């Protein structure tokens, strides 16, 4: 017989741990986290490429209630972020509620019982009243649709699945892509390789990275005066909010940021021909603005070539571009990002009357506040549609979502057998507002991973983080179809504080 719990959380990255911590802090212990890997960490467990680091300052890219005074750098590396998450997952009140090595392949809502049934790869199942998928938007590598990938006779891999056993020393290496991962690993591998050829479809805007080392004096100060770290966190919060204003319509701010990016390019790249290749041809903010101090200098080295010609095909010996040139290489590294539009994939999710979530989201994912979907009762998605940020820290957004979901769990706990399903008209009204606002933002001006195949911006939140916090602070029962609720125990509103 399947286990039955109040809340089933899928994923033990930042999102899943945020949800678990929120429940524990509210005294709710009847939950389980199902994690397919053998340890916590999410994207920070999987992405181990050279130079992997966060592009959000560490004091801000951490839980507000779990500060870490001994970060070694302002922009922490992958290993330290993974360690931070592992430490949190290992806390006594949490570690026994995480089941590792459990791969959830499907979830279906049983209407007769008002329960979700989660099926696992090993043939098992877990039954839960509330289903919280917390698998994120950056969990599955995206592979480019290029002819001939299977014909390549050399070594190839995705940067999100880095093969550390591959010796790059003295090799001819091709890198496809120019996104956030690429700008971090290219400077690290460039000194090792004989030749590095970067195939770039579009150039990113890159700002100077205000990184720095935290030394023992900083650690001591943060421990003795926690307010100092809170002040730094507040500073980065404020800068993120200001930049969001630039992305969403304030041209003075966006012009100032663009000027800083172009200054960095002029300062670090002497060659006019290379600068032309590295100059973006779209509005700033349309794609994620990146931070690096060593990427441009790496591309200016003599053993690096930047190719902007379209890739026609992968051959047995390398890459042929549209101009007919074949670039012979030994290794191909795909730095082509993640399948951000495949929310919850490859998990098959079915709601009421067998409704498939994939079919519901065929034209692009959508959800009220990024969390609830009509036809899928008692399901609350974390880091779902339109909750990604163009700047700032997603961690606080996850905390806001966890508080909102916790309130829903508390409401359900007062109504045994009750079911909450977001009203279609509420979700529709919200989605129309979000898409209207996104249409006036920089994100609408180019093709990017923020958009679905239909052109719908399904990833990003169009406002300030403070606005999202405010809108999720109130759980309104009026927004939901509340089935099997008693008048005595039901409530109409609940604050998330």
DSSP string spanning 133-171?
A: E---SSSSB-----TTGGG--SEEEEGGG--TTS--TT-
CATH of residue 271's domain is 3.50.50.60
At residue 268, what are phi and psi to the nearest 5 degrees?
-100, -15
Which domain, by its residues, includes 266? 155-334
Domain presence at residue 147: no
- Contact between 18 and 398 under an 8 Å Cβ cutoff? The reply is yes
Q: So what's the pLDDT on residue 483? A: 84
Domain boundary among 274, 304, 334: 334
Do 363 and 477 reside in the same domain of the chain? yes
Do 442 and 404 reside in the same domain of the chain? yes
Do 327 and 377 reside in the same domain of the chain? no
Domain presence at residue 497: no
Domain presence at residue 150: no
Domain boundary among 334, 357, 381: 334
Domain presence at residue 495: no
Whether residue 345 has a cis bond before it, omega within 30° of 0: no
- Contact between 415 and 485 under an 8 Å Cβ cutoff? The reply is yes
Q: Which of 60, 67, 113 is nearest to 88 (CA)?
A: 67
Structural domain count, the chain: 2
pTM of the model as a whole: 0.94
Do 284 and 354 reside in the same domain of the chain? no
Q: Which of 363, 367, 370, 357 is nearest to 453 (CA)?
A: 363
For the chain, the straight-line distance linking the first and the last C-alpha, in angstroms and rounded, comes to 37
Q: What is the distance between the alpha carbons of residues 178 and 175, in angstroms, rounded to a whole number?
A: 8
Q: What is the distance between the alpha carbons of residues 321 and 312, in angstroms, rounded to a whole number?
A: 5
- Contact between 200 and 183 under an 8 Å Cβ cutoff? The reply is no
Do 359 and 330 reside in the same domain of the chain? no
Q: So what's the pLDDT on residue 1? A: 40
Domain presence at residue 415: yes
In a 10 Å sphere around its CB, with 0-12 CB exposed, 13-18 middle and 19+ buried, how is residue 410 labelled? middle
Which alpha helices (DSSP H) does 282-336 contain, by range? 295-299
Domain boundary among 280, 300, 334: 334
Q: What is the distance between the alpha carbons of residues 296 and 470, in angstroms, rounded to a whole number?
A: 40
Do 304 and 273 reside in the same domain of the chain? yes
Domain presence at residue 373: yes
Do 180 and 134 reside in the same domain of the chain? no
DSSP 75: S
* Location of structure tokens 């007919």: 324
Give the 3-state secondary structure of residue 463: coil
Q: Which of 342, 465, 388, 327 is nearest to 180 (CA)?
A: 388
Domain presence at residue 474: yes
Domain presence at residue 489: no
Do 389 and 469 reside in the same domain of the chain? yes
Do 346 and 474 reside in the same domain of the chain? yes
Do 383 and 280 reside in the same domain of the chain? no
Each residue's pLDDT expressed in tens, for the chain with a length of 497 residues: 468 999 999 999 999 999 999 999 999 999 999 999 999 999 999 999 999 999 999 999 999 999 999 999 999 999 999 999 999 999 999 999 999 999 999 999 999 999 999 999 999 999 999 999 999 887 788 999 999 999 999 999 999 999 999 999 999 999 999 999 999 999 999 999 999 999 999 999 999 999 999 999 999 999 999 999 999 999 999 999 998 898 888 889 999 999 999 999 999 999 999 999 999 999 998 889 999 999 999 999 999 999 999 999 999 999 999 999 999 999 999 999 988 777 787 899 999 998 999 999 988 899 999 999 999 999 999 999 999 998 889 999 999 999 999 999 999 999 988 999 999 999 999 999 999 999 988 888 787 777 777 788 898 999 999 999 999 999 999 999 998 775 544 445 555 44
In a 10 Å sphere around its CB, with 0-12 CB exposed, 13-18 middle and 19+ buried, how is residue 317 labelled? middle
Do 124 and 253 reside in the same domain of the chain? no
Do 96 and 180 reside in the same domain of the chain? no
* Location of structure tokens 């093969």: 163
């Amino acid at each position: 017989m399947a286990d039955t719990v109040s809340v089933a959380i899928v994923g033990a990255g930042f999102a899943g741990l945020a949800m678990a911590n929120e429940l524990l802090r509210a005294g709710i212990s009847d939950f389980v986290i199902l994690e397919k890997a053998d340890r916590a960490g999410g994207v920070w467990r999987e992405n181990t490429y050279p130079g992997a680091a966060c592009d959000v300052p560490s004091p801000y890219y951490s839980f507000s209630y779990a500060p870490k005074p001994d970060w070694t750098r302002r922009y922490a590396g992958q290993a330290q972020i993974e360690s931070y998450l592992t430490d949190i997952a290992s806390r006594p009140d949490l570690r026994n509620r995480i089941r590792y090595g459990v791969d959830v392949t499907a979830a279906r809502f049983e209407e007769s019982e008002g329960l979700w049934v989660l099926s696992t790869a090993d043939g098992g199942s877990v039954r839960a009243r509330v289903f919280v998928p917390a698998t994120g938007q950056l969990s599955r590598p995206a592979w480019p649709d290029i002819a001939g990938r299977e014909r390549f006779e050399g070594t190839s891999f995705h940067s999100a699945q880095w093969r550390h056993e591959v010796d790059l020393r003295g090799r001819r290496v091709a890198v496809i892509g120019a996104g956030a991962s690429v700008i971090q690993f290219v400077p690290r591998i460039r000194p090792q390789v004989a030749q590095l050829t970067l195939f770039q479809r579009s150039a990113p805007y890159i700002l100077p990275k205000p990184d720095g080392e935290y030394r023992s004096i900083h650690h001591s100060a943060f421990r003795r005066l926690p307010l100092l770290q809170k002040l730094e966190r507040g500073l980065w919060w404020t800068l993120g909010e200001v930049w969001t204003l630039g992305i969403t319509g304030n041209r003075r701010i966006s012009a100032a940021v663009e000027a800083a990016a172009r200054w960095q390019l002029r300062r670090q790249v002497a060659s006019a021909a290379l600068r032309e290749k590295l100059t973006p041809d779209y509005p700033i903010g349309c794609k994620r603005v990146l931070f690096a101090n060593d990427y441009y200098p790496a591309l200016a080295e003599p053993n690096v070539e930047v190719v902007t010609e379209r890739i026609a095909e992968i051959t047995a010996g390398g890459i042929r571009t549209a101009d007919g040139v074949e670039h012979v290489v030994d290794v191909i590294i795909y730095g082509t990002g993640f399948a951000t539009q495949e929310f919850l994939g490859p998990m098959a999710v079915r709601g009421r009357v067998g409704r498939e979530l994939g079919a519901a989201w065929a034209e692009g994912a959508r959800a009220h506040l990024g969390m609830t979907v009509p036809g899928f009762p008692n399901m609350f998605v974390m880091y779902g549609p339109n909750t990604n940020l163009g700047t700032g820290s997603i961690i606080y957004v996850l905390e806001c979502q966890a508080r909102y979901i916790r309130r829903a769990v508390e409401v359900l706990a007062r109504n045994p057998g009750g079911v909450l399903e977001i009203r279609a008209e509420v979700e529709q009204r919200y989605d129309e507002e979000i898409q209207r606002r996104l249409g006036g933002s920089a994100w609408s001006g180019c093709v990017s991973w923020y958009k679905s195949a239909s052109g719908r911006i399904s990833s990003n939140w169009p406002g300030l983080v403070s606005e999202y916090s405010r809108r999720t602070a109130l759980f309104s029962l009026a927004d939901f179809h509340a089935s099997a609720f008693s008048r005595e125990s039901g409530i109409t509103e609940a604050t998330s504080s």
